[in-house]
Chain A
């Protein structure tokens, strides 16, 4: 069931909410779990087994970690300092073992189901260089829905239990609910166990305001997806799927429209998902924070798909850099290259690893490696250039506080991000290079590709509306609250207007292709 389909919005959600609201408090989580499992089964069928297994592994290891920690806390006071230190070492090693087992299982599952064909292909192209014929083959599997999401969430659960920031769940169904919760299982966000388990396991009472605000947020998401994203997709698909026919302005417009499409669609999906969860009192994590107001590429990635960046920063980037091997690498660098580089090189290594992870998470292919590398290079060169820039242009620090300079930074970031989007959407590394080159060739044909003038106007107006809403959010204005304070006729006019807008201007029906959610293939 897609999040913007009739069955989901008009049958599944209302039924779940009714069940959830009418059940006594103790059984409310059962409604959430039941709904999630039905939802997942409808989408994944027999592949649900992977989710069930991942949840089982995570729950069991979490319990194990919890027991070890309890044991350690219980036995420590009775020991003398030397014995306590030895015991601590043992407990740490055991916990490390459990976490490693979890990561091996979960990451291994992800790699096995998602990356195996890519690894095999790459291995084969290397092997093809050898003087004798040797090729490897491996079966390719169907990825269960949300694989890239629930495996990472499960790992974050284990890491958090290991670090002691949260207590493990006692029952299997609790972990299963956390991982399978239908709003976030398909496209995220990556929620932390500590953030949402209270609301999942001990739900708040049904609240009219939460319900209506949630529905309003879903409506906003629908507007973004149906009016803007699905419309832009017609143009984008035509150009990117058939890139040799287009060049110059057509490719430029298609790239800009793709950025608009991806933002409208992904953030719109997040609105639908967070709105749905809000109806049930579950606070899922925000994934977008007005990304196009970012003034650097690294800030962009702290405002776009926030939870992915946060996950990688907290569980990959930081731990890798403070790990013993990396510290040793740092020392080695210091002896060879001096103190400054000795500090920086491990951080750059961590940064490279993180960007490659971001790239590869999006897809199993060399294009995604290039995508990650692109952003790494931008950030790395930015870091390298910084001291030189400050020396050459001492006024820079002052300029950076000026409003016009900040605007320049936003425009610059926007341009860089759009190049990244072109890379990301193209049909492979070769296609990406071709399209980049074609930007310089003028385009002779009409720019009205698959869309007529009125459609383009809708897109322009849509983009402006998005910009205004983002501006209000950036200024801290809470839009739903402001509308709720207005008199009833005005409120209802706004809500009816929104629904009518979706019905009238939505890009559905025979004139438009249905566009599946982009991030759901991950």
Chain B
């Protein structure tokens, strides 16, 4: 299982200068656009050695840092 800090760490690598709460809205506020989401996906896939399918790339899974954490944990199973 992974922690929220690992997720926040990855987010700050992809978007330097980003400072968000685990529950802050990321997509609708424009913090992450579709290109950023893919960069995050690449980082997650590489960091945690995950296999991500296009179905996982729904907006709901990237709304907040917590949502990303849930996604990662789910994929690890």
The chain B residue with its CB closest to the CB of A296 is B33
Q: Are A330 and B38 in contact (CB under 8 A)?
A: no
A249, B46: Cα distance in complex, Å: 52
Q: B residues 21-57 with Cβ under 8 Å of A?
A: 33-35, 38-39, 41-43, 45-46, 52-55, 57
B54 touches A343 (CB 8 A): no
- B35-A351 in contact (CB<8A): yes
Q: Mark A318-332, 1 if CB is under 8 A from B, else 0.
A: 110110000100110
CB neighbours of B39 from chain A (8 A): 343-344, 347
Report the nearest B residue to A390, measured CB to CB.
Answer: B17
CB distance from A164 to the nearest CB of B (A): 8
- Kindly list chain B residues whose C-beta atoms are within 8 Å of the C-beta of A379: 35
Q: Do residues B41 and A321 form an inter-chain contact, with CB atoms below 8 A?
A: yes
Query: Shortest beta-carbon distance, A393 to chain B, in Å?
Result: 12
Shortest A239–chain B CB gap in Å is 36
B17: nearest residue on chain A (CB-CB)? A390
B71 at the interface (CB under 8 A from A): no
CB-nearest residue of chain A relative to B53? A322
Cβ A318 vs Cβ B38 within 8 A: yes
Residues of A within 8 A of B54 (CB): 163, 314-315, 318-319, 322
B14, CB-defined interface residue at 8 Å: yes
Per-residue CB contact flags for chain A residues 365-384 toward chain B (1 = under 8 Å, else 0) read 00000000000000100010
Residue contact A327 to B16, C-beta cutoff 8 Å: no
Q: In the bound complex, do residue A317 and residue B38 qualify as a contact, i.e. CB atoms below 8 Å apart?
A: yes
Q: How far is the CB of B69 from chain A (nearest CB, A)?
A: 19
**CB <8 Å contact, B46 and A342:** yes
Give per-residue flags for A149-172: 1 if the beta carbon is below 8 A from chain B beta carbons, else 0: 000000000000001110000000
A298-B33, A322-B41, A331-B46 known; A343 and B55 CB under 8 Å?
no
Task: Give the dominant DSSP class at B's interface.
Answer: helix
Chain B CB within 8 A of A509 CB: no
Which of A319, A330, A342, A347 makes the CB contact (< 8 A) with B35? A347
Q: Is A346 an interface residue, CB under 8 A from the partner? A: yes
Give the shortest distance, in Å, between A58 (CB) and chain B (any CB).
19
Contact A327 B45 (CB under 8 A): yes
Q: Does B13 contact A (CB under 8 A)?
A: yes
B55 x A163 contact (CB < 8 A): yes
Do A350 and B38 touch (CB < 8 A)?
A: yes
Cα distance, A90 to B12, chains bound together (Å): 40
CB-nearest residue of chain A to B34: A313
Please name all residues of chain A whose beta carbon is closer than 8 Å to the beta carbon of B42 when the two chains form the complex: 321, 330, 342-344, 346-347
A340: interface (CB < 8 Å): yes
Interface pair B34/A343, CB less than 8 Å apart: no
Smallest CB-CB separation from B16: which chain A residue?
A387
Alpha-carbon separation in the docked complex, A254 to B51 (Å): 50
Does A317 contact B45, Cβ atoms closer than 8 Å? no
Q: Judge if A385 is at the interface, Cβ distance under 8 Å.
A: no
- A contact residues around B16 at 8 Å (CB): 387, 390
Complex alpha-carbon distance, A270 and B54, angstroms:
29
**A397 contacts chain B at the CB level, 8 A cutoff:** yes
> In the complex, A387→B35 CA distance in Å?
15
A334: interface (CB < 8 Å): yes
A299 to B52, CA, bound (A): 26
Q: Give the CA-CA distance A397 to B38 in the complex, in Å.
A: 22
A165 CA to B75 CA, complexed, in Å = 18
Least CB distance, A327 to chain B, in whole angstroms = 6
Question: A317-B34, A317-B38, A347-B38 are known contacts. Are A322 and B52 too (CB-CB below 8 A)?
Answer: yes
23 contacts between A and B (CB under 8 A): A165-B55, A298-B33, A314-B54, A317-B38, A318-B34, A318-B54, A322-B45, A327-B45, A330-B42, A331-B46, A334-B46, A340-B13, A342-B42, A343-B43, A343-B46, A346-B42, A347-B35, A347-B39, A347-B42, A351-B35, A379-B35, A383-B35, A390-B16
Give 8 nearest A-B pairs by CB, closest first.
A319-B54, A343-B42, A318-B57, A347-B38, A322-B52, A321-B38, A163-B55, A318-B54
